[in-house]
Amino acid sequence: MPLDHQILWNNCLTIIKDNVPEVSYSTWFAPVVPLKYENKALLIQVPSHFFYEQLENQYADLIGKALQRITGENTLLLYQVMMADIPVQMTAEKHQVVENKLTGIPTRPAMPSNPFDQIITAKLDSQLNPNQTFGNFIGGESNMLARTAGVSIAEKPGKTVFNPLFIHGKSGVGKTHLLHAIGNAAIQQNSNLRVLYVSSHLFQVQYSQAYLNNTVNDFIHFYQSVDLLLIDDVHELAGKTGTQNVFFHIFNHLHQNGKQLVLTCDRPPKDISGIEDRLLTRFKWGLTAEVEKPDYALRVSILQSKLLRDGLHFSDDVISYIARHATENVRDLEGIVVSLMAHSVIYEKEVDLDLAKRIVSNAVAMDERQISVELIENEVCKYFDINPDILQSKSKKQEIAQARQIAMYLSRKYTDKSYSFIGEIIGKRDHATVLHACKTVGNWIETDKKFKSRVEEIEQQIQAK
């Protein structure tokens, strides 16, 4: 009778559990699901590519020996990685994505060194990262305008008023991800659409090669054949007169023929130097949308999404601490998560608040000032022009009660103090009162834009202290 895959994996886990720390076992082996065992090969499902890499790098030998001990023969270990709920199989021997026989999803073709090779062909390698989609681009106040415009463009490239869409913001806030998301969504809507993502640096290199090879006309012809052109870091064209001249003609042709352009930059058009005025004017023809650094709520959502995607779990205290201190960009948040997991595995230590504080302090510039409940209480009183003594009183007037509840909500958000501690400081209220205040304010923020704006103004004053 053939060995059942579940029994085989359970027997393996018994051996593995005796050879790895409990933290490592619960982190890297508990989420694994055995799927099939046949022809001397065991197929297991892991939550993410990150899991696959960790198992291969850290535990491949251990798993292999466990399988051999149970089956009495060499057994091939195959992985099925869940990417956006689509199973993608990987083999431990070849370490590459292989075609999924069930879904028929092919491997991503190799990136060509020069897209001009494809001028004649009907199909165009878009150069898009298939893992960067709207599905994992977390939306929030800081990117709402750009994201909404991007979704509209993906549905009808060249048919909206957002042409061009000029997205600007600091490094690491998600501009490149948004470009790829627009391109991937557009192709999903219309597989025949000619979509191309290119960095401004690569565009410049390609133009230089075309100039040296006397193939500038081919260069222009290729780019004029694109339906949706996504150009990253357009500020890097500054000072490149020849490249700007060619891009001007490409831009005009695409725009006049109803083709879509989406550009990213690290600053708004008015602040770019070294770019010809005739181009800057065209950059402003459509919509200029800023992607700002993520606010606290968005940072929490981004962390939760990444943890879910990688099959990881951090406590709420750890997530809150990271979100409060890594405030500048998304890359810092993702880098901290990777560092925490690496330290957890290598040093066999749980991801707790102490470890988070150590990793975060090494990753970002820390603000040593501690936000206290008293500081928050004072800022709320200043905003509402209320005497602190009145806030501490038993008054149940609506404006006083609301200010008191906001102070409690922000104290819970910006400090690591307990509900009981906050209640003791703010009017000697009990734990239940503070808990109720936090839920009430949270509901108001979600349903009342004016109220939400007031709370955000108070937060700005607290953060500025």
Q: What one-character-per-residue DSSP string does 307-358 give? A: HHHTT----HHHHHHHHHH--S-HHHHHHHHHHHHHHHHHTT----HHHHHH
Domain with CATH 1.10.1750.10 in the chain: 373-464
> Is 23 buried (19+), middle (13-18) or exposed (0-12) by CB count in 10 A?
middle
* C-alpha to C-alpha distances, 393 to 225, 384, 397, nearest whole angstrom: 71, 16, 11
pLDDT for the residue numbered 308: 83
At the topology level, CATH places domain 296-363 in: Helicase, Ruva Protein; domain 3 (1.10.8)
Q: State residue 395's pLDDT score.
A: 85
Angle (nearest 5°) at CA 212 between 206 and 213: 85
Which CATH architecture group holds 373-464? Orthogonal Bundle (1.10)
Rg (CA), the chain: 27
- Is the Cβ–Cβ distance between 313 and 307 less than 8 Å? yes
Supply the pLDDT for residue 229.
Answer: 97
| pLDDT at res. 245 | 92
Given this model, what pLDDT does residue 370 score? 66
- The answer to whether the beta carbons of residues 36 and 80 sit under 8 Å apart is no
CATH 3.30.300.180 boundaries in the chain: 5-91
Distances in Å between the alpha carbon of 422 and those of 218, 381, 390?
68, 16, 17
Query: Where in the chain do CATH 3.40.50.300 domains reside?
Result: 124-290
CATH number of 124-290: 3.40.50.300
Q: How far apart are CA 36 and CA 27, in angstroms?
A: 22
List where CATH 1.10.8.60 sits in the chain.
296-363
Residues 444, 398: Cα–Cα separation, whole Å: 14
CA distances from 421 to 243, 321, 377, 414, 429 (A): 62, 18, 13, 14, 9
3-state SS string for 31-84:
CCEEEEEECCEEEEEECCHHHHHHHHHHHHHHHHHHHHHHHCCCCEEEEEEEEC
- Return all residues near 141 (Cβ < 8 A) that are at least 6 apart: 295, 297, 298
Based on the number of CB atoms within 10 Å of its own CB, is 453 exposed (0-12), middle (13-18) or buried (19 or more)? exposed
C-beta atoms surrounding 376 within 10 Å: 28
- Low-confidence stretches of the chain (pLDDT < 50) are 83-122, 368
The H or E element containing residue 120 is none
pLDDT of residue 98: 34
Pairing mode, if any, of strands 195-199 and 76-83? unpaired
- Coil vs helix vs strand at 159: coil
Contact of 329 with 170, CB cutoff 8 Å: yes
Give the pLDDT confidence score for residue 407 in this predicted structure: 93
Cα–Cα distances (Å) from 413 to 34, 315, 371, in that order, read: 41, 15, 10
Helix (H, G, I), strand (E, B) or coil at 366: coil
The one-letter code for the residue type at 87 is P
Please report the pLDDT score of residue 27 as a whole number: 79
**Superfamily of the domain at 5-91:** DnaA, N-terminal domain (3.30.300.180)
d(CA 147, CA 149): 5
The tens digit of pLDDT for each residue in 35-72 reads 888 888 888 888 776 677 778 778 888 888 888 888 88
